[in-house]
Amino acid sequence: MPDSHCLLIIMCKAPVEGKVKTRLMAKYTAAQAMAWHQAMATTVIERAKRLFQHVWLAVDDTAHPFFKTFELPLYAQGEGDLGERMAHLLKQASQYGYKKILFLGTDSPHMPDKRLLQVTSALNEHDVVLGAVEDGGYDLIAMNGAYPVLFSDIAWSSEHVLKQTLAIIQKQQLNCLVLEESFDVDTPEMLERAKHAGWHV
């Protein structure tokens, strides 16, 4: 039975040329975009390992050799849209006895440690913690309990994700903290911005 510490679940795609960070291909080749994806994912995963006792990698291809190097538990994301996959993983985590669960992607290699550490302390007083990003989504979502309803009826990959999630939170009468707005790395311009924000490859 795990202790009461937060479980961090990192949602990560396998590095496949032409399938990851495609918006970077406005400037970079498919191979270079894949390399950037690997670099971003590595930064995020190694930071998580350093800060958290319990970390899962939720991936789209559990057999891909990239994931083996991190020596972390591998879980298949499953089928469906992002919300359905996160709900599936949330159910698994709850079955293992985890109460505090944090979902994180790999698009924020520039994220400071304090943003992640703020989540764990905030979950002592809030049901849900969201990390707002400029494109209308979030770079993390954490909850002090299993609330799969937060992943239903969301227009994923749109500018409405955060707003729709907050509406569900309000309807469910949950107590929520929204962290200071940050940004995801999707475009070449955002990649440069992440470097200026302190990300070193």
Q: How confident is the model at residue 5 (pLDDT cuts 50, 70, 90)?
A: confident
Q: At 187, is the secondary structure helix, strand, or coil?
A: coil
Report yes or no on 44 lying in a domain: yes
Report yes or no on 1 lying in a domain: no
What is the identity of the amino acid at 93? A
Give CA–CA dist 141/105, Å, rounded.
10
41: CATH:
3.90.550.10
Report yes or no on 162 lying in a domain: yes
The 10s digit of each residue's pLDDT in 90-142 is 999 999 999 999 999 999 999 999 999 999 899 999 999 999 999 999 999 99
Q: Give the CA distances from residue 94 to residues 114, 166, 177, in Å, rounded to whole numbers and listed in that order.
A: 26, 22, 22
Domain tally, the chain: 1
Report yes or no on 40 lying in a domain: yes
Report yes or no on 34 lying in a domain: yes
Report yes or no on 201 lying in a domain: no
The 10s digit of each residue's pLDDT in 145-194 is 999 999 999 999 999 999 999 999 999 999 999 999 999 999 999 999 99
The 10s digit of each residue's pLDDT in 70-86 is 999 999 999 999 999 99
> By residue range, what is the domain housing residue 96?
7-196
DSSP type of residue 6: P
Contacts for 98 with CB less than 8 Å, ≥ 6 apart: 2, 6, 7, 54
Exposure class string for 32-47: b at 16+ Cβ within 10 A, else e = ebbbbbbbbbbbbbeb
DSSP 35-75: HHHHHHHHHHHHHHHHH-SEEEEEES-TT-HHHHTT---EE
Q: Burial-class residue 196 by CB neighbours within 10 Å (0-12, 13-18, 19+).
A: exposed
